[in-house]
Amino acid sequence: MRDREPGGTDANGEDGFREVRQFYEEVTQIVERMHRRYLDVIRLELQSLGIRDINSVQALILVSMRDEEMLIRDLIQRYYYLGSSTNYNIKKLVECGYLEHERARHDRRSVRIRLSAKGRDLVAELNQLQKQHAEMLAAEGDLSPDIQSTRKWLRRVERVWAEFIELV
């Protein structure tokens, strides 16, 4: 973060700070809307596949896991899912046959999870959807500079949030 002088100005003056603040507020709103829209995209894809037993958040958990076996706590920590709702969603995914689970041998309190064949099939379908969307974006022309700049800015925002969380 830049050193700000009293009164809310920075090295670029009040206008520079105001511009960054407005951009930051807009980016956080866009990120939130994009997450909701992405869940809508997944929901619509689930419907088109005739899948009615899980929701888009649960499908996103499957996609996040890829084909890794992991502990539930690792899933929560790595992908920033909320604990109690994640436990519910994992239970539902196991009940519906998308995940397999077993108690860890070294610590019976820990549960290891992995995609079942049904889960891998769904993830393959959703990965295909992501590929189609990437192809649509690529068809719009060379976005490399925009993508790199956006990624860099989003990572900076993520870093600021992580630092804030550590301080609190």
Q: For 105, list phi and psi in degrees, rounded to 5.
A: -70, -40
Are 61 and 86 within 8 A, CB to CB? Answer: yes
Q: For 100, list phi and psi in degrees, rounded to 5.
A: -115, 150
The residue among 1 and 125 whose pLDDT is bigger is 125
Among 30, 15, 11, 13, which residue's Cα sits nearest to residue 153? 30
What pLDDT, on a 0 to 100 scale, did the predictor assign at position 11?
58
Per DSSP, the three-state class of 100 is strand
What pLDDT, on a 0 to 100 scale, did the predictor assign at position 146?
84
Per-residue exposure over 128-165, b if at least 16 CB sit within 10 Å of its own CB, e if not: ebeeeeeeeeeeeeeeeeeeeeeeeeeeeeeeeeeeee
The residue among 58 and 16 whose pLDDT is bigger is 58
- Is 80 exceeded by the pLDDT of residue 10? no
What pLDDT, on a 0 to 100 scale, did the predictor assign at position 2?
46
Residue pLDDT, tens place only, 148-160: 888 999 999 999 9
- Is 50 exceeded by the pLDDT of residue 5? no
Residue pLDDT, tens place only, 29-78: 999 999 999 999 999 999 999 999 999 999 999 999 988 899 888 888 88
Residue pLDDT, tens place only, 84-135: 788 899 999 999 999 999 987 777 778 899 999 999 999 999 999 999 999 9
